[in-house]
C-alpha cells in the first residue's frame, strides 16, 4: 500500500473506532454524572438521619444503664421475671460523625479505560 494511502486508512480506522468509543464514553459519563448528582442530594440526608438515630441510641443506652443499675432487689422477695435490658451494642454509635458542610466532590481521573 502506498504510504499516503496507508496513513489515510489508519486515520479512517482510528476515526471510526474513536467515534464508536466516544458514544460509549458519553453514555457512561452521563450515567456517572446523574449518579453523582443523586448522591450529592441523598448523602447529606441519609447521614443526618443516621447521625440523629445513633445519637438517640446513645441516649437510650444511657437510660438502659440507669434503669438496670437502679432495679431494686430484696432477699426473700419473688423475682418479677423481668430480665435486665440489653444495650443496643452498636459500636458504630461512637464512631460516626456528621460530615462537614462542604460540597461533596468526586475524584474522576482525566482518562480511564472503559471496559
- Cα angle vertex 50, ends 91, 94, to 5°? 25
Q: Does residue 77 sit within a domain?
A: no
Q: Does residue 45 sit within a domain?
A: yes
Distance CA 15, CA 112 (A): 19
Residue 63, domain extent = 3-69+82-94
Lowest mean pLDDT among 64-73, 92-101, 102-111: 102-111
| Residue 103 clears pLDDT 70, i.e. is over it | no
Q: Does residue 90 sit within a domain?
A: yes
Q: Does residue 103 sit within a domain?
A: no
Distances (CA, A) of 93 to 43, 44, 56, 60, 113: 18, 18, 9, 12, 39
pLDDT, tens digit, 9 for 90 and up, residues 45-86: 999 999 999 999 999 999 999 999 898 888 777 778 888 888
Q: Does residue 22 sit within a domain?
A: yes
Q: Does residue 111 sit within a domain?
A: no
Total domains in the fold of the chain: 1
The pTM of this model reads 0.52
Q: Does residue 12 sit within a domain?
A: yes
pLDDT, tens digit, 9 for 90 and up, residues 5-59: 888 899 999 999 999 999 999 999 999 999 999 999 999 999 999 999 999 999 9
Q: Does residue 110 sit within a domain?
A: no
What is the model's pLDDT at position 110?
53
Amino acid at each position: 500500500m502506498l504510504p499516503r494511502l496507508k496513513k489515510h486508512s489508519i486515520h479512517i480506522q482510528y476515526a471510526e473506532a474513536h467515534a464508536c468509543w466516544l458514544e460509549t464514553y458519553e453514555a457512561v459519563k452521563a450515567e456517572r454524572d446523574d449518579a453523582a448528582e443523586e448522591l450529592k442530594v441523598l448523602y447529606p440526608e441519609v447521614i443526618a438521619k443516621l447521625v440523629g438515630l445513633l445519637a438517640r441510641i446513645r441516649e437510650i443506652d444511657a437510660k438502659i444503664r440507669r434503669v438496670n443499675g437502679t432495679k431494686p432487689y430484696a432477699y426473700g422477695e419473688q423475682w418479677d421475671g423481668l430480665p435486665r435490658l440489653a444495650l443496643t451494642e452498636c459500636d458504630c454509635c461512637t464512631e460516626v460523625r456528621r460530615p462537614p458542610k462542604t460540597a461533596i466532590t468526586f475524584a474522576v481521573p482525566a482518562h480511564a479505560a472503559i471496559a
